[in-house]
Amino acid sequence: MKLLIVFLMAALLVASSEAQLERGVKGSVEDAVLVSADDWHGPVAATPLAIWSNDNGTVKQPLLILPKEVSSGNRLGWVEQTDLDRYGAVAVLRTLEAGNITAIIVHGSGDLAKSLVETAHKDGIKAYITATLELPDNSNLKTDDIMHLTQTSNVTSAAQSAFLGEIGLSAPSQNESNVDPKRLQKQSDQENGSYFCPVNPDVRDGLYNNIEKLIEDYKVDGVVLYNFGFQDENYCFCDFCKEKFYKDTGIDLTKIYSSSYNLERWKQWKQEQVLDVVREAKNITTDLGPVKLGVAIGNPFDRSQGYNYADISKIADFTVISPVTAADVKLASGMTDRPVYVRLSDDYVEYTLSAQNVEGAVKYIEDVTSAGAAGLAYEYNVVYTPLWSELEPPSNSAKWLLEQLGGRTLGLGNVSWKCDSNIKANNPYELAEKISERWKSSPGAVIVGDNYTLGLKASTLASYLNWPVLFTGKDLPRETGSALKNLGAKEVVIEGEISGNARSNLSQMNLSLIDDSGDLLLREMKARGFSPNSVVLTNSHDLSLLPPIPKPEFKRAKVGDILVDIDINPAKIPAERAGEIVRLNITLTNANTDVAKDVQLVDLFPSGKLLRWPKASIGEVNITDPYTGEESKPLNAFMDGSLLFWNLDKLEPDKTASLAMEVEILYPMDAGWVQRLIVESPSRTAIWNRMSLLSVRTTGP
């Protein structure tokens, strides 16, 4: 949760005049008050402690609402290839780092995955990459109808590509994977599955070779086996499985459903095959690294895919399992002395735990950690749920402010900051009682039930009167009664409705009960010489604190016969944070029937913009300092910007060339800023000038 500072109106200053209610007398208060954001009772009770009026004016101590310290064990990040393609390696890593991620698991491959590993290592974060028997992802398979429409339309292929690009799809391409169907898993009717067969010797060799490549080329800290077993209980009936199953058991694979013995033996045999893969993978990671071997599976007690968790967890250095109950986590973690992590997806947070039930989601995390899980592996899209705000430590701006303020800090509740003194309690009633002990005396207190909206009103009135806020339930809590006695209170203001029992309990204490009909604060202010017409309350608790989901922006221009398509993602970046990454994809399409020769794209990126990881499908790319011509580096890019040259000897008719890169914003931008990524200049070529359409804006606060 981001930094929140509770402000009360400066207009609550006091003038000397006749008043209805006597003010309280505050004792000593620390220089800053920090309160946990996990429960609204804390900030409400803390407000009159930090901000109050007296006969000389208004006293305002900084009051910061910080996220609670969530006991979630070690925090791992789980990153899909689609996350890397959409947001870029640096942006993904920095977002995860904001939640105290200590290691990442990348389910992807290629340059982006490799760059993520390199960047993670620079930041001291361990990086693991998955090794899998999944078929290579082909998102085009899900868009057959649209593809068919473009392919059968009477338009050029360039127009087809442009149309598909505009709606976010890739142009149709030939299947270059050349997958041998003999390597695929098969059902009993010989229909192909979407996994390679783990029994096939060539498939195993390919998996082992990939593990070696990840260790030697990617320099990973470990490899995670993922989707390396059987696709489900109906697989596999390929020729390799038939032959090996008969050799190992003497049972014809086509006869497994003829008896319960045969079926059970088949299930055991599949578990043995998967376990062989784990053992060999462990040998490789031990011999070549040594690096860690992780295994990611679903439910640890589901063996339909051949995963025998009990045996696998004794071989692997750590395991990652799907969300299960805390009781099942306890059972699973008790079966091994190796770390067990629970993988948490945005779907599970939103639909199972409920996106709005942040308290329930945090409780689940703490429950599974208490049950024995070493921690959780958070899928990247969890950062766009309300849960992520609770997992983030104080923001950089909060840390900076606390350092600037200096002095002593008081922590109320479970705050994620080391304070000089703390007030902790088992319930809101006890917390309010302990806070009230900071008053030397008070002729009264403001009482409110379990109603957040009325709590806001109560805190404002209490601050003006310099009275504490206390809470009540169906009956008057023991803690509230004790606080009233210790204060020496003679009267209480009741905000809203409270139960008859609680009202009776207060009356039995010989207290005068004052019901606030909504205008008590105005009447008190008028009695002290002010003449307000209204009081406006701002409710920071209802502000959206979620980081916006990055959205791309698409622009198109035509320069002669060259179509220029520009994708910028994200089009908005968080304000006041240096090092934000914007991914830039530029596509040039020759819409003419003639070959375009000596095509050159020249872009000048202004100061503070550093170009990273340029990758062109064809041609040569050079990035230099625009003044010296030397290689562009962070320091000179901060001062001088960056100059991009993309040279293509030729571009065939109806063909495209693409350039993908990352633009790092080296300085923080204020909220609401809009800046061009590229300088506009009439002295450049037409293509270069069209690129000045690009801009990036910030979101805030």
Class of domain 553-699: mainly beta
- pLDDT, one tens digit per residue, over 562-607 is 888 888 888 777 655 677 788 888 999 998 888 988 888 888 888 8
Which are the contacts of 221, defined by CB distance < 8 A and separation ≥ 6? 103, 126, 127, 128, 291, 292
Instruction: Return the sign of the alpha-carbon dihedral for residues 203, 205, 209, 215.
Output: positive
The secondary element (H helix, E strand) that includes residue 596 is strand 596-605
pLDDT of 554 reads 83
217 CB neighbour count, 10 Å cutoff: 9
Name the token pair of 179. 């997958």
User: What does the alpha-carbon distance between residue 306 and residue 657 come to, in Å, rounded to a whole number?
Assistant: 45
- CATH architecture for the domain at 74-138+190-234+273-357: Alpha-Beta Barrel (3.20)
* 3 state DSSP class of 255: helix
Predicted local distance difference test score (pLDDT) of residue 306: 96
Predicted pLDDT at 141: 37
Q: Where exactly are the structural domains of the chain?
A: 4-67+395-542, 74-138+190-234+273-357, 553-699
Q: How far apart are CA 456 and CA 44, in angstroms?
A: 6
Query: pLDDT under 50 in the chain at which residues?
Result: 1-18, 139-176, 540-545, 679-701
The C-alpha atoms of residue 467 and residue 45 are separated, in whole angstroms, by: 10
* Dihedral, 261, 263, 266, 268 alpha carbons, nearest 10: -70
Gap between the Cα atoms of 75 and 121, Å rounded: 16
Helix, strand or coil for residue 177?
coil
Q: Is residue 306 within 8 Å of 245, Cβ to Cβ?
A: no
Beta bridge partners of 343: 377
Q: Which residue has the tokens 């959205």?
A: 551
d(Cα 335, Cα 348) in Å, to the nearest integer?
25
In whole angstroms, give the CA distance from residue 353 to residue 244: 44
Measured from the Cβ of residue 335, the count of other Cβ atoms closer than 10 Å reads: 17
Q: How far is CA 340 from the centre of its chain?
A: 21
Per-residue pLDDT of 512-524, as tens digits, reads 999 998 889 989 9
The pair of three-digit structure tokens given for residue 586, joined into one six-digit string: 């530029």
pLDDT for 700 equals 44
- pTM for the full model? 0.65
Measured at the alpha carbon of residue 79, what is the angle toward residues 73 and 85, in degrees to the nearest 5? 155
